Amino acid sequence: MSPEEKRCVAFHEAGHAIAGWFLEHADPLLKVTIIPRGGGALGFAQYLPKEVALYSKQALLDRMCMALGGRIAEELTFGSVTTGASDDLNKVTQMAYSITALYGMSDRIGAVSYPGNKDQFDKPYSEATAKAIDEEVKKLVDSCYVRTRELLTRHAAPLKAVAELLLEKETISQLDIVRLAGDRPWPIPDALRDYLGATSKKSDSPLEDGSSDSKDGGGEGGEDATAVPLPAASSPSHQ
């Protein structure tokens, strides 16, 4: 990576980390690195998923916001965005369609479920409903974008501090986030606290395989997207 690309990746990863740190339903961050990995991932993050089987609408919205954190950090810092957020946007789109048309969480669409179908000629709803779904999805994504932009603007100092530390150390842990951003305002379950503490003590080691992690599959040198665990979902006719 060029110095400019490396700086962009650092702020992108810092955006995910800070957004997730201040969102109640985000998963606890373990480590984040800007050391390139295989598969085109320029940045890489590990999160410890909570062991829950059910997600509320607010939990899904928080995950949408965390996924948007990288792109918005780029925008706030550099005044432009890159292709590094392609996988993030794919996750956000899937979650928005799931909220609206799969989980029955949209007041406008109602308590109905339209599972994704790749055959655009076999849709169990009208063109008017399809338009309404599209409008509701855009409304959801836009509101999460505004919310995340306000959050990262409010926490601009720790966002910059985390990015600069990533540029210096390349790999940082939860302990570094605590030092730079303060304690997380939302409690971490006791069952996870000991594991997080033990893992964070290895902050100088490379990220290890086998933990919950994700990478961008955008295909254009994309970097890591935030891990967003949720039930399998797909858009009704917008694959």
3-state secondary structure of 65: helix
CA distances from 101 to 62, 114, 136, 145, 172 (A): 18, 5, 9, 20, 38
Q: Which of 78, 73, 18 is nearest to 45 (CA)?
A: 18
Q: Which residues contact 199 (CB under 8 A, 6 or more apart)?
A: 30, 31, 173, 174
- Rounded to whole angstroms, how far apart are CA atoms 93 and 99? 10
Catalytic residue flag (residue 208): no
Question: Which position among 5, 13, 170, 223 bears the catalytic label?
Answer: 13
At 133, is the secondary structure helix, strand, or coil? helix
CB 46 within 8 A of CB 30: yes
State the DSSP code for 99. I
**C-alpha count within 13 angstroms, C-beta hemisphere, residue 27:** 23
- DSSP state at residue 211: S
- Residues whose CB falls within 8 Å of the CB of residue 234, separated by 6 or more in sequence, listed in order: 94, 97, 98, 102, 115, 116
Cβ(28)–Cβ(47) below 8 Å:
yes
Backbone angles phi, psi at 208, to 5 degrees: -100, 150
Could you tell me if 14 and 6 are in contact, meaning their C-beta atoms sit under 8 angstroms apart? Answer: no
Residues with a catalytic annotation lie at 13
